Amino acid sequence: MGTLHVVATPIGNLEDVTPRALRVLREARVLYAEDTRRTQILLDRFDIARRAVSLHEHNEASRVDAVLEALGRDETVALVSDAGVPLISDPGARVVAAAIEAGHVVEPVPGASAVLSALIVAGFPAAPFTFLGFLPRTAGAREVMLESYRARPETIVMFESPARLHGRLLELAACFPARRGCVARELTKRHEEVVRGSCAELAAHFADGVKGECTIVLEGALGEAAEREAEQRGDAGILDDEALDSAIREALTEGKRPREIVAALSGRTALPRKRVYARVQALKDEVST
């Protein structure tokens, strides 16, 4: 069987490429890249005589068969994205899943990661943390997602485009008024910038616009910060299990629908939304009897 190497490439500074990654790129029979022009810069820098084949979000599905055919010939195939680790808000998941299902070997070739690089310079606990990728495009979906993390203790990491950074920081400031954040911009590049402060302070700092790749890190709901946040928002704070059940019963008695109740309460408990919904359904039967 063939081997699919999932290769991390530098997120900016080309010196961050690993010797193993260079060896794999030289030895691979076929190289697939999200952006062949960008990958060619890396190949030329290290005198690797290889031409990449494009594999991006718009053609990944159509490339799966070709990848499997190459692996079926016991060939070594390498997969890279624009920068950093493939599949992390980048294409490649379909190819990896198909290779595994077909019984081929899939090997990671670790390296630079914007997620981990931003996490370690933010100054917040690195474990546990949650990576959200890019937030949903619609305001309603973003609000639901962010509300679901209001009571969660883990540090949150997300990507954002420079064009939307200011607006996204304003939304974070509204949802997490007492929370500290960090914006890591152009990591490992010449104009690298790491700014820390409240979400409101970060929004003010980047109000005039920004260029380059941006990663946002947000501290989790930890003790006093969570309580201060609840006070600033004017709600009753984080609910324990008993208080949650009481709030659900009250909302059901008022005739509210389950999804409305979940949307209103999931941000005030450490429980996942699915468990809150399940609790609403259980108590719904109890209240109706």
Question: Per the structure block, which two tokens stand in for 37?
Answer: 């022009």
Q: What per-residue confidence (pLDDT) applies to 209? A: 87
| Interval 125-154: pLDDT, tens | 998 999 999 999 998 899 888 988 888 889
Check whether 224 has a pLDDT greater than 70.
no
Check whether 228 has a pLDDT greater than 60.
no
| Interval 26-35: pLDDT, tens | 999 999 999 9
Q: What per-residue confidence (pLDDT) applies to 44? A: 95
Q: What per-residue confidence (pLDDT) applies to 164? A: 94
Check whether 42 has a pLDDT greater than 90.
yes
Give the mean model confidence (pLDDT) for residues 208-231.
Answer: 78
Q: What per-residue confidence (pLDDT) applies to 153? A: 86
Q: What per-residue confidence (pLDDT) applies to 152? A: 85
Check whether 253 has a pLDDT greater than 60.
yes
Q: How far apart are CA 118 and CA 14, in angstroms?
A: 18
| Interval 80-129: pLDDT, tens | 999 999 999 999 999 999 999 999 999 999 999 999 999 999 999 998 99
Question: Does residue 172 contact residue 186 with C-beta atoms inside 8 Å?
Answer: no
Task: Supply the mean pLDDT for the chain.
Answer: 89
Question: Whole-structure pTM over 0.95, yes or no?
Answer: no
Proportion of the chain above pLDDT 90, given as a percent? 64
